[in-house]
Homo-oligomer: A and B are copies of this chain.
Amino acid sequence: MEENSCCGTRKTHRDEEQYKKLKNRLNRIEGQLRGISNMLDENAYCPDILIQVSAVNSALNSFNKELLSEHIKHCVLNDIREGKDEAVDELTEVIRKVMK
């Protein structure tokens, strides 16, 4: 069993470094979102909240780009090497769903 990737039963085994990197990003985004919730409690001015929500959106987009890149570099590449070409259809399908 390979360390870095692989997608047998529709699981992705990420190595420690990659996991931590993604987890840290999510933690930061959760923090931003709690900040927005506090702004709402404190009657923050609408435009100030709008800007912060927009920043969370950008952070989530970056997260998704990173995750998609890792997915292609590990899962999809391995699958194709092993002759599982259906990985390609699955990839184009998910790109259609997440690309706006």
A: residues with CB less than 8 A from B are 7, 10-14, 19, 22-23, 26-27, 29-30, 33-34, 36-37, 40-41, 43-51, 53-54, 56-57, 60-61, 63-65, 67-73, 75-77, 80-81, 85, 88-92, 94-100
Contact = CB atoms under 8 A, between A and B. Distances in A.
A71 B51 CA distance: 13
A22 B41 CA distance: 10
B26 A50 contact: no
Contacts of A85: 77
Nearest to A99: B99
A43 B23 contact: no
If over half of A's interface residues share one DSSP class (helix, strand or loop), that class is named, otherwise mixed; here it is helix
Given A10-B45, A50-B97, A99-B99, 13 more contacts: A12-B44, A13-B43, A14-B43, A23-B40, A29-B33, A30-B33, A50-B67, A57-B60, A73-B89, A77-B80, A80-B80, A95-B95, A98-B99
